[in-house]
Amino acid sequence: MNLPLVVVGGPPGSGKTTAARAAAERLGLEFHSAGALFRAQAERHNMDLGEFSRYAAEHPEVDRELDAHMLELARPGRLLEARLTGPLAQRKGIPVVYLLVTAREDVRAQRIAGRDGIPVAAALRAMLAREASEKARYQSIYGIDLDRAAPDLRVDSSDLPPAAVVDQLVDFIRRHAPPARP
């Protein structure tokens, strides 16, 4: 089966990375994560994610370089986990299956708190600050409002086990794969 370029986006704590990685593995797609690249950049700058987000707000080249790199990776047979690559690919006319994994705010804060070992209230504050920073940066740099982006599929992971989210993504991708070439 020929598989298209797939991009899985979603807000922090939605489960997008877990679902995207598992879907890529199940489908045999090459996986790349913008979030992992952003975290690696933060580490290289000796900053935590919140600090680096604030730094990126003052240095638009951080986002531009990361987004350009993700678009270079945008090819059929790959699954990219990234908040902005789906809308950017659509804008540039790159054929893409753009999937969005979401979850309620309280669920996302609980997940982040568990992952990072911090209190839920602190996770919620950090999550909301990060989202506000990213929203402002994406609007300023690209004129993109992720709240208005049009995914091909939206999956709310709030009350689903990870395997059920992956099943929905994989089923959708398989249904939208181009026909095999003779």
Given a contact cutoff of 8 angstroms between Cβ atoms, the answer to whether 176 and 97 are in contact is yes
What are the Cα distances from residue 86, in Å, to 10, 30, 39, 45? 10, 16, 20, 27
Rounded CA-CA distance 61/39 in Å is 16
Asked if pLDDT for residue 153 goes beyond 50, the answer is yes
Give pLDDT, residue 18.
95
If residue 109 lies in a helix (H) or strand (E), which one and from where to where? helix 105-116
114 contacts: CB under 8 Å, gap ≥ 6: none
Q: In which band, very low, low, confident or very high, does the pLDDT at 163 lie, cut at 50, 70 and 90?
A: very high
CA 96 to chain centre: 14
Asked if pLDDT for residue 178 goes beyond 70, the answer is no
Tell me the chain's radius of gyration from C-alpha atoms: 16
Give pLDDT, residue 34.
95
Q: Could you give the percent of the chain with pLDDT greater than 70?
A: 97
pLDDT digits (tens, 9 = 90+) for 16-37: 999 999 999 999 999 999 999 9
List of domains in the chain? 6-171 (3.40.50.300)
- HSE toward the beta carbon, residue 46, CA cutoff 13 A: 0
Q: In which band, very low, low, confident or very high, does the pLDDT at 179 lie, cut at 50, 70 and 90?
A: low
Rounded CA-CA distance 160/129 in Å is 26
Rounded CA-CA distance 134/146 in Å is 10
pLDDT digits (tens, 9 = 90+) for 56-66: 989 999 999 99
Rounded CA-CA distance 112/10 in Å is 14
Give pLDDT, residue 8.
97
Asked if pLDDT for residue 181 goes beyond 50, the answer is no
Asked if pLDDT for residue 71 goes beyond 70, the answer is yes
Average pLDDT, integer, range 146-154: 91
**Three-state secondary-structure class, residue 161:** coil
Q: In which band, very low, low, confident or very high, does the pLDDT at 133 lie, cut at 50, 70 and 90?
A: confident
Is the sign of the CA dihedral 122, 52, 41, 163 positive or negative?
Answer: positive
Q: In which band, very low, low, confident or very high, does the pLDDT at 4 lie, cut at 50, 70 and 90?
A: confident
pLDDT digits (tens, 9 = 90+) for 94-127: 999 999 999 999 999 999 999 999 999 999 999 9
Give pLDDT, residue 180.
45
